[in-house]
Each structure stands twice: as C-alpha cells, then as structure tokens.
Amino acid sequence: MTVYATVASRGGAERGVLDAGSKTLTSDPGGLDGHGLVLGYEAARIHALSEEHGFLDLSACPVKPAVGEMVRVVPNHVCVVVNMVDRLVAVRGDRIVGEIAVAARGMSV
C-alpha cells in the first residue's frame, strides 16, 4: 500500500514538506526511523508530522523531489492509515482501476 502525496514546499536545500501528515500517514513510527518510506527517494526521511504535513529531511538524497512533484509513501503502519479514510483507490501501473470502500471505517471493537 502506498499513499500519494505532493511536495508542497522546499523551505531549504535539505528540507521539504509533504501534503500528508499524521491524519494520513499516522504518527505511529512502528519501531522504524521516520514516518514512512518515500519511493524513488529512499534516502529521504519523514522526520516529523503535523496533522496535515510531513516534514522531510533530504540531506542524504543525491536527487531531491521538486515542489509540485507527486511521490508515493509506504506508511509504517498500514492498519491505522486504512482506518483514516473512507475509501482506497486501486492503481495498476499509472492507471486507476477501481475503488475499495473501507467498511470498518469508524467502527469500534
């Protein structure tokens, strides 16, 4: 599972901000360093989250994402991420092939 996010800003040569934060990626690090793996920029580290934004440390990246670029993030804890949305979008390659309703959204045990 991946979360699509956009690089909303680059406040410095070694920093970036994603439009996905704790409401999308979850603040649970799952014992890992950072809050998800940015595909294509594996040396990037999502070092902090606000509710709506993820803060990138790009200091180890030889190539850095540009403002406006859409990236895919593998979240650390998929269960929490799925519970935060009403539906998932199924993608094959570069094509949207369907939607999956999250039937348990908002349910308690």
pLDDT, mean of residues 79-83: 84
Nearest CA-CA partner of 24 in 52, 56, 55: 52
Selection from 44, 40, 33 nearest residue 17 by Cα: 44
Three-state secondary structure call for residue 54: strand
Say what the pLDDT of residue 85 is.
85
pLDDT digits (tens, 9 = 90+) for 82-92: 888 889 999 99
Which tens digit of pLDDT belongs to each residue from 12-63?
Answer: 999 999 999 998 898 877 777 899 999 999 999 999 999 999 999 999 999 9
pLDDT value of position 45: 96
- Tell me: domain 3-80, CATH 2.40.37.20, correct? yes
